[in-house]
Amino acid sequence: MRRYSGRLASLAAAILFALAAVAPSLADGKRHQVGSGETLWGLASLYRSTVEVLVKLNGIADPDLIVAGQTLQLPDDGNAQPATQAAPAGDAVYEIRPGDTLSAISLRFNVSTQVLQAANRLSNPDLIIAGQKLSIPGAPQTSVPIVPTPLLPPVSPEIENVIAEVATAEGVDPKLVKAIAWVESSWYQGAVSHAGAVGIMQITPWTAAWLEAEVFGQPLNEETSVYDNVKAGTRLLRILMSATGSVDLALAAYYQGLTPTQAGVLYQETIGYVQAVLAVKARFWP
């Protein structure tokens, strides 16, 4: 759920959601929110600073101990901008996800690591962080964030068991839920979008509030509980499937909201999102 939101008085109004790119590591002016796996050395290199400067600026006692979610102040010297934020015109853009490596990205898009390194002016191919944008030479430009399909089926017994249990209880195809969850977050519960959507199914705060108040009648913990997050997203999908009578339209509504979908409006981004979910499902869970 990523882009479009609004106030409505009806059920259709209540489930208009926002969907944004998954990126727990965010650069915001002179601050940086630490992402999973990041190090102070790596951030110093990325922002053209030094470990010593960041330690002093943030009062860090142990340079080897920074944690995901921690916000760091960056030096106010005019250079505190990521070295590789924008991609060259003419290439598709991929936003790095937690756990990505340059070699894995090269395999996904059939582009050599050397080409990726040169196209993005990466001085250190081992230094890429979640949220950073890479140019993918030769890949078609698209307004929809690229969703790389892994070479092997994703495997996470804990998450797959939760999805299977919840989807079966809701009467929804578990394979479809798996595909949505993969496109939304790569099965990463710690994912937080720029719009505040959280977790595996990328549940926005207003969606969560509506589901808790009007659908479940009880509070859920979508932010930290995999089970509650999947429960919320799967129930939402079931509602949308009932409202639209179509898997494709339900996926469209999951992305852009029910109101424009029922009005027959499908944004180009929405079409790409639906195609991405169905492609992932067809490849691994047909």
Which positions are catalytic? 184
Q: Where are the alpha helices (DSSP H) in the chain?
A: 11-14, 40-46, 51-58, 102-109, 113-119, 157-170, 174-185, 205-210, 226-244, 247-256, 258-262, 268-284
Q: 67 phi and psi, to 5 degrees? A: -125, 150
In this structure, the dihedral spanned by the alpha carbons of residues 215, 217, 219 and 225, taken in order and rounded to 10 degrees, is -50
Question: Secondary structure of the chain: what % helix, strand, coil (to 5)?
Answer: 45, 10, 50
Among 229, 162, 174, smallest CA distance to 199 is for 229
